[in-house]
Amino acid sequence: MAQPDMQDHAPDGSQVGGGVSSVAAPARTWKSLPGPKRHLIRGILPEYRRDPLGFLSACAREYGDIVPLRAGPRRGVLLNRPEYIEYVLVTNSQNFARYYVARLNRLLMGNGLLSSGGELWLRQRRLAQPAFHRERISAYASAMTAYTEQMLDVWRDGEVRDVHQEMMRVTLQIVSSVLFGADAAGEVRKVAAAAAIVQQTFAARLNSTILPPDILPTPANLRLRVAVRRLDGIVYRVIEQRRAGREQADDLLSLFLQAQDEDGTRMTNKQLRDEVMTLFLAGHETTALALTWALYLLSQHPEVEARLLTEIETELGRRDPTAEDRPKLGYTERVVMEAMRLYPPAWGLIRDAMKDCSMDGYRIEAGMYVAMSQWVMHRDPRYFERPDQFEPDRWNADAARHRPKFAYFPFGGGGHLCIGSSFAMMEAILLLAMIVQRFHLSLVPDYPVVPQPAMTLRPAHGMRMVLHQR
């Protein structure tokens, strides 16, 4: 791979800490960079659609740290070096917006934290941040363990279950409880059905050569609008009920209702809706996928599962874990981190350049997109020995200390680091400990396990596993 000289200057020549420079040499243009062949109209889309993960991995392997891509009429680059990713997400993040992703998500998530930017994003982040302080997250642990207990109580020895669907169901129950309290308990099935339509529509939009406007009455847009209306009905009803009530509930929606900015303003119903919708949809599937892939990997590596079970039995015995147990479950955490390395739920990011800039002599023009793939970076042999192997001990403090920060970024990075990352990690650790404590799961013989990269990295055929009660 290309290894350009790294210098500590920003594109304007000032010194920065990102290790990216534009002053070393005249900038190389997009056309001069080596890259994959492109079709006249569709660009790289035909090859990309056949195998997105394989295509991006091959681009990084064959063409180096910065690869020119054209998806339909849109020109962009794939970045395959931690310093470049840090430059986009941290050092010069004000120059890289999420316009394309925001357009894909606008009807669903509005101006929530996942799709907004600038001053609006900063204000909403300030208002939402207190709800995710460490003490608050610890308070949610009881909901996590209670719903997991309910799930495990109906599991039976010898049953075959789609573990992906099981994890989706339990994390949906948890996020519904944490966001809305008991108010939405009876709505979970409706929400799950509507959310599935949203996911399908997003996947189709992500792979479109030309993105049709939301207002066009296409079948996909109509299905999406129906699904969003159903979700809106639930969210707005709960917001109105909560505003009308006199008692303060102990859930995220109540905290958002109480939050006020420095000038005393609070979130409007629309802002509340956008943030709740964002957290609701992003707050359950990523954790469910991390657990699904972790359970699959454990079924393929009995030595790792045996060590994990030893830790759980030593620290917990037969009791359920609590938030206070998380620091004791170090190996459990490493298993989750390694599962997210090999199968990152968020497998790629896209940003749009607002102004011209360059990275080590590579010119990025305004209007171009930059793509960064966790799937590619997390399996880069420069940063991970035996990158395709499941080795949780690579996350020991000593082993991880010398690895570049953005060689591993399952929750994004910079100011837009996922606000719920601590919540998701605690949830994944507690749930995995409870599942392994009571069951060993084995994959159904000859079952096809195929990662499907859409909005998230799902198992294409689910994950059917046999339950073996301990």
439 contact partners, CB below 8 Å, separation of at least 6:
152, 155, 467, 468, 469, 470
- Please report the pLDDT score of residue 256 as a whole number: 77
Q: Considering only 2-6, 295-299, 371-375, 447-451, which range has the smallest mean pLDDT?
A: 2-6
List, as own/partner pairs, every contact residues 125-130 make where C-beta atoms lie below 8 angstroms and the sequence separation is at least 24, other chains included: 125/415, 125/419, 126/261, 126/262, 127/256, 127/259, 127/260, 127/261, 127/266, 127/267, 128/256, 128/259, 128/275, 128/419, 129/419, 130/255, 130/259
Distance between CA 143 and CA 159 in Å, rounded? 26
- pLDDT tens profile 164-191: 999 999 998 898 888 777 555 566 667 6
pLDDT in the model for residue 4: 35
List C-alpha distances in Å: 140 to 132, 236, 422, 432: 10, 23, 11, 16
Containing 67, the helix (H) or strand (E) segment is strand 66-71
- What is the average pLDDT value for the chain, to the nearest integer? 83
Which domains does the chain show, CATH number per domain?
1-109+350-409 (1.10.630.10), 131-346+422-470 (1.10.630.10)
Rg of the chain, C-alpha, whole Å: 22
**Longest Cα–Cα distance in the chain:** 66
Which range is least confidently modeled, 66-70, 225-229, 315-319? 225-229
pLDDT in tens, 334-366: 999 999 999 999 999 999 999 999 888 888 999
Helix (H, G, I), strand (E, B) or coil at 127: helix
pLDDT confidence of residue 185: 55
Res 332 pLDDT > 70: yes
Mean pLDDT of 366-383: 96
Cα–Cα distance for residue pair 76/78, rounded to 1 Å:
7
Q: What is the pTM of this model?
A: 0.86
Decide if pLDDT at 319 tops 50. Answer: yes
Determine phi and psi for 95, rounding to 5 degrees.
-95, -5
pLDDT at 403 over 80: yes
- What pLDDT band is residue 15 in, cutting at 50, 70 and 90? very low
User: For position 233, what pLDDT does the model report?
Assistant: 83
Confidence (pLDDT) at 23: 39
Rounded to an integer, what is the distance from CA 450 to the centroid of its chain? 19
Name the strand (E) or helix (H) holding 359: strand 357-359
Calpha distance 401→27 (Å, rounded): 33
* Predicted confidence (pLDDT) per residue in 64-88, tens digit: 999 999 988 889 999 999 999 999 9
Alpha helices in 215-329 (DSSP H): 219-244, 252-258, 269-300, 302-316
Q: Which helix (H) or strand (E) holds 97?
A: strand 96-97
Using CA atoms, how far residue 374 sits from 56, 170, 435, in Å, is 11, 26, 27
377 pLDDT more than 60: yes
Check residue 58 and give its pLDDT: 97
| Structure token digits, residue 300 | 């393929």
Q: What is the pLDDT of residue 5?
A: 35
* pLDDT band, residue 278 (cuts 50/70/90): confident
Nearest 5°: the CA angle 289, 347, 91 is 130
How distant, in Å, are the alpha carbons of 82, 343, 421, 430 from that of 287?
A: 24, 12, 10, 11
Q: Is the sign of the CA dihedral 401, 406, 411, 413 positive or negative? A: positive
Residue 280 has pLDDT above 80, yes or no: no
Average pLDDT score over residue span 191-206: 66
Instruction: Write phi, then psi, for 452 (nearest 5 degrees).
Output: -115, 105
